């Protein structure tokens, strides 16, 4: 079995002068067998089933909704409230970030993600929220196992990593992402919720972002919300499937309403989980999505994460 080291021209086209692509010394992988989970969507409240299937090397990660194929790429990100949405030809897939975070972190470089719902009239569908974290995705992927992904000629392909060549900054109001060239992937993330003292200001930083660290320290961090904002959010048409079973809820005056937390800084860790999922959209052709850089985020969110990935791609 040969190892294909040819540079992927799709990768080059979707990059910019800010990025160089270097070999990681690893080969691209895919799932060894199918993975399937069913659950309700956080925002839609509707039931859906996701099936992750093996795919050829160089194909990357993509979603299949009925007959529509939507690559997991910055090219198809549509701004939406409180989640990351992929959209193509009038069809959209919502809340992809936790699943993509698990796929990026566990090394599933190539896969077909088929998503189904019983309602045949819907043009949009949502990935199940499960328990509000990425833990069930990671557990299911680990149970299925990984294998080398082969291309259509039966060869394995070397996995490349994007290396940041110069500093990059994106911001909106008092929120920002700044990234500096660095020898490895390092993420430093800060959040600030002064209205909810039990959350308050939190920081999380790590250079150890391999699959074992992700599984132990990040995957089980759940999404969170401020209790006093719940009614307003539901009136705006989101979090219809939200509950104390799939989110941790903090009251401004009463603190955490459904303890215990899995980590003292669980909200901040969840933001790192989201960031990994959103930056996985920078991946192309089965290569790494997370840039080799020190990425510092303060008061980030999905829209800011996506803008940063687009900047790396040279889109804006």
Q: Name every residue whose Cβ is closer than 8 Å to that of residue 185 and which is 6 or more positions away in sequence.
A: 207, 209, 290, 291, 292, 293, 295
**Stretch 175-202: mean pLDDT, rounded?**
98
pLDDT of amino acid 2:
63
pLDDT digit string, tens, across residues 115-140: 999 887 889 999 999 999 999 999 99
Q: Does residue 76 sit in helix, strand or coil? A: helix
pLDDT digit string, tens, across residues 1-14: 566 654 454 454 45
**What is the largest distance, in Å, between two alpha-carbon atoms of the chain?**
62
pLDDT of amino acid 208:
86
pLDDT of amino acid 132:
98
Q: Name every residue whose Cβ is closer than 8 Å to that of residue 65 and which is 6 or more positions away in sequence.
A: 91, 93, 114, 115, 116, 125
- Is 251's pLDDT higher than 50? yes
pLDDT of amino acid 15:
57
- Is 170's pLDDT higher than 80? yes
pLDDT digit string, tens, across residues 271-310: 999 999 999 999 999 999 999 999 999 999 999 999 999 9
pLDDT of amino acid 160:
98
pLDDT of amino acid 316:
57
Token pair recorded at residue 306: 């996506």
- Is 231's pLDDT higher than 70? yes
pLDDT grade, residue 62 (50/70/90)?
very high
pLDDT of amino acid 16:
73
Bond from prior residue into 260 cis (ω within 30 degrees of 0): yes
Lowest-confidence segment of 53-57, 167-171, 206-210 by average pLDDT? 206-210
- 124-126 and 91-94 beta bridge pairing: parallel
pLDDT of amino acid 84:
97
**Stretch 72-82: mean pLDDT, rounded?**
91
Rounded Cα distance between 133 and 214, Å, is 12
- Is 206's pLDDT higher than 80? yes
Q: How many CA atoms lie within 13 A of 215 on its CB side?
A: 13
pTM for the structure as a whole: 0.95
pLDDT digit string, tens, across residues 93-121: 999 999 999 999 999 999 999 999 988 78
pLDDT of amino acid 5:
55
Angle between helix axes 266-279 and 302-313 (nearest 10 degrees) is 30
**Stretch 157-175: mean pLDDT, rounded?**
97
**Stretch 169-174: mean pLDDT, rounded?**
96
């Amino acid at each position: 079995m040969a190892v294909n080291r040819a540079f992927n021209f799709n990768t080059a086209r979707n990059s910019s002068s800010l990025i160089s692509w270097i070999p990681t010394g690893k080969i691209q992988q895919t799932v060894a067998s199918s993975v399937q989970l069913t659950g309700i969507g956080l925002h839609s409240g509707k039931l859906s089933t996701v099936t992750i299937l093996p795919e050829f090397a160089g194909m990357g990660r993509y979603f299949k909704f009925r007959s529509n194929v939507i690559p997991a790429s910055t090219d198809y990100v549509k701004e939406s409230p409180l989640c990351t949405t992929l959209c193509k030809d009038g069809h959209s897939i919502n809340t992809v970030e936790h699943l993509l975070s698990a796929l990026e972190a566990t090394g599933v470089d190539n896969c077909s993600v088929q998503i189904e719902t019983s309602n045949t009239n819907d043009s949009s569908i949502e990935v199940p929220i499960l328990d509000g974290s990425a833990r069930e995705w990671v557990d299911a992927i680990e149970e299925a196992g990984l294998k080398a992904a082969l291309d259509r000629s039966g060869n394995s392909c070397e996995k490349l990593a994007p290396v940041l060549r110069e500093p990059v900054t994106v911001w909106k109001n008092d929120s920002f992402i700044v990234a500096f060239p660095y020898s490895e992937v390092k993420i430093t993330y800060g959040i600030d919720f002064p209205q909810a003292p039990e959350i308050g200001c939190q920081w999380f930083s790590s250079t150890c972002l391999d699959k074992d660290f992700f599984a132990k320290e990040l995957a089980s961090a759940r999404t969170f919300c401020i209790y006093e904002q719940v009614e307003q959010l539901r009136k705006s048409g989101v979090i219809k499937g939200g509950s104390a079973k799939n989110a941790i809820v903090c009251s401004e005056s009463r603190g955490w309403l459904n303890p215990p937390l899995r980590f003292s800084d669980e909200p901040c860790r969840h933001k790192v989980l989201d960031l990994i999922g959103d930056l996985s959209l920078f991946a192309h052709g089965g290569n790494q999505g997370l840039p080799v850089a020190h990425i510092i985020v303060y008061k980030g969110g999905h829209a800011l994460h996506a803008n940063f990935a687009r900047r790396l791609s040279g889109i804006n």
